[in-house]
Amino acid sequence: MTPRITAAVAGRVLTQIRRDRRTLALLLVLPCLLITLLWWMFEDTPVFDEVGPALLAMFPFIVMFLVTSVTTLRERSGGTLERLLAMPMGKLDFLVGYALAFGAVAAVQAALAVGLSVGLLGLDVQGPVWLLLVVAVVDAVLGTALGLFVSAFAQTEFQAVQFMPAVVIPQILLCGLFIPRDQLPQALEWVSNVLPLSYAVDAMTTLTETTATGDVWSDLAVVAAYAVAGLALGAATLRRRTA
Amino acid sequence: MVNNAVEIHDLHVVRGRHTVLEHLDITIGGGVTGLLGPSGCGKSTLMRCLVGVQQTRAGTVRVFGEEAGSRPLRDRVGYVTQAASVYDDLTIAENLRFFARVLGVGKDEVDRVLMAVDLGDRKDDVVGRLSGGQRSRASLAVALLGSPDLLVLDEPTVGLDPVLREDLWTLFHDLADRGTAVFVSSHVMDEAERCHRLLLMREGRIIADGSPAEIKEKAGADSVEDAFLAIVRRDAA
């Protein structure tokens, strides 16, 4: 890995996002709009306080998964990845460059979503607000890592988008948003215990409920471990030599 | 002392159920070497072997004495794929600055290659809005960054205006004169005349190897295209 090259990749990805105004607007504004919709739906009930934290964990994950799987698929099919791998670029330069760029976008996205939820919509947060942002960024890096990985199994952007329901929706269903995880049928609880989004949602929920942060850090460690594992799997799918 | 830029020994490539390259032995030296043959004959696969991105079944490919695609070669070999491998959503200059940083060469290199491919006045245009010929020149400019010792160019002149094509061939010769080994593929036979040395390829095999004059003379033909036909007919007979 070469810091110069990693930084070049991250800078280039950010320039591409900046150039694509519509995507940028969707990335930043859409989560805020959806959170506001939910807050409005459950006006005068405690529901927003219950599901708000889960949403803050879901958006960075879903959005970065989608954006990354499509952009890296484009690199694979457009020939730019082949060109980069024929240059002095390490696989980790490529992966970490992407993770840094999307992590930065996620930080802005999360700052807006958390600011809106806590500042304007009255979401109750007992723990430190900055830690919500950290969880969101790690969560986004996880989405990026998984997106990079699945892009290896898609031949077209159409297929890449179809991986979203396959990889993301089961995690949303089982993360504790619809029913607390310990009330799931035993087998499904075990499944939810190995899905990384569960830990991101747990971390967010803990932050809103208590001021103690010990559990948050251990949940965060699990999410980070999954992100690293995802990047390692992604690295395995980046082949210099292809058939 | 390594005299040849590229030494290929017994190279065999199978893709799916098709044999794409059949036990090739080739050496490529300096100057402009042309790889000519019909679409689908294995030209791109051979070029991918030279830059080390192709899985091979057997054989060795050595570039400047090193294994193709190995680390010491990655900033010595410039590669242009058939598709323009540049980012459509960036400007030409942004593309070049990015690849220059990856290669670790200075910003002055960006200006130099822009001039070389004659895109200086379009450098702030987004690649996606350029014509096909301009995009492939932008892709070529990336390969020129850092003045590589070997240039592997997969059909770089397809679809270009004849004047521009002429300019590019002049550029290839300039580069060769300054010591770069240029290996360029084409399916347009009239470009063959501009090469120092020609490799004619058909169905994964090299069917003729020599200067354009030698090949024409040996086949008793007036043009490389006729020579190609004569060799194919003779082999079939």
B214–chain A nearest CA distance, Å: 34
A83-87, A171-175, A196-200, B156-160: least confidently modelled range: B156-160
pTM comes to 0.88
Contact A78 B85 (CB under 8 A): yes
Residues in chain A with CB shorter than 8 Å from the CB of B101 are 4-5, 7-8, 11
pLDDT at A157: 83
Chain B interface, Cβ < 8 Å to A: 15-16, 51-56, 69, 71, 74-75, 77, 79, 81-90, 94, 98-99, 101-104, 126, 142
Q: Which of A4, A19, A84 sits opposite B89 (nearest CB)?
A: A19
B82–chain A nearest CA distance, Å: 9
Contact B98 A11 (CB under 8 A): yes
Please give the C-alpha separations between residue A21 and each of A32, B57, B89, B130, in angstroms, as whole numbers: 17, 46, 11, 20
Angle among Cα A24, A29, A33 to the nearest 5 degrees reads: 155
What backbone phi and psi angles, to 5 degrees, belong to B22? -115, 100
Task: Report the pLDDT averaged over residues A86-104.
Answer: 91
A155-159, B104-108, B193-197: least confidently modelled range: A155-159
- Interface mutation target, options B44, B102, B124, B153, chain A, most CBs of A under 10 Å: B102
Is residue A233 within 8 Å of A149, Cβ to Cβ? yes
Q: Which of A5, A11, A240 sits opposite B53 (nearest CB)?
A: A240
Task: Report the pLDDT averaged over residues B86-100.
Answer: 95
pLDDT digits (tens, 9 = 90+) for B30-61: 899 999 998 889 999 999 999 999 999 999 99
pLDDT digits (tens, 9 = 90+) for B135-190: 989 999 999 999 999 999 999 888 788 888 888 899 999 999 999 999 999 888 87
Please give the C-alpha separations between residue A23 and each of A26, A30, A61, A144, B82, in angstroms, as whole numbers: 5, 10, 16, 16, 29
Residue A166 identity (one-letter amino acid): A
Is residue B113 within 8 Å of B96, Cβ to Cβ? yes
Contact B53 A11 (CB under 8 A): no
Residues in chain A with CB shorter than 8 Å from the CB of B124 are none
Chain B: residue whose CA lies nearest to A82? B53
Q: How far is residue B157's CA from residue B42's CA, in Å, rounded to a whole number?
A: 18
pLDDT digits (tens, 9 = 90+) for A116-139: 999 999 898 999 989 999 999 999
Taking the alpha carbons at both ends of chain B, their separation in whole angstroms is: 42
Q: Tokens representing B176?
A: 């060769």
Is residue B88 within 8 Å of B126, Cβ to Cβ? yes
Binned at pLDDT 50, 70 and 90, residue B1 comes out as very low
CB pairs under 8 A between A and B: 80
Beta carbons within 8 Å of B3's beta carbon, 6+ residues apart: B29
In which residue are the tokens 């695609």 written?
B69
Contact A80 B87 (CB under 8 A): yes
Percent of chain B with pLDDT over 90: 65
Residues in chain A with CB shorter than 8 Å from the CB of B71 are 88
Contact A241 B53 (CB under 8 A): yes
Contact A86 B94 (CB under 8 A): no
Using the predicted structure, report yes or no on whether residue B2 has a pLDDT greater than 80: no
Q: What is the ipTM of this complex?
A: 0.86
Residues in chain A with CB shorter than 8 Å from the CB of B69 are 86, 240-241
B163–chain A nearest CA distance, Å: 27
Count how many Cα atoms sit within 13 Å of the Cα of residue B151 in the half-sphere of its side chain.
Answer: 31
Tell me the DSSP string of A51-91. Answer: HHHHHHHHHHHHHHHHHHHHHHHHHHHHSHHHHHHTTT--H
Chain A: residue whose CA lies nearest to B45? A243
pLDDT at B162: 86
Q: Which of B16, B79, B89 sits opposite A20 (nearest CB)?
A: B89
Is residue A114 within 8 Å of A56, Cβ to Cβ? yes
- Other beta carbons within 10 angstroms of residue B177's beta carbon come to 11
Q: What does the CA dihedral B104, B108, B109, B111 come to, rounded to 10 degrees?
A: 140
DSSP B126: B
Contact A5 B101 (CB under 8 A): yes
Percent of chain B with pLDDT over 70: 99
Residue B229 identity (one-letter amino acid): L
Q: Tokens representing A180?
A: 């607390």
Using the predicted structure, report yes or no on whether residue B123 has a pLDDT greater than 90: yes
Tell me how long chain B is.
Answer: 237
Binned at pLDDT 50, 70 and 90, residue A187 comes out as very high
What backbone phi and psi angles, to 5 degrees, belong to B182? -110, 120
pLDDT at A106: 87
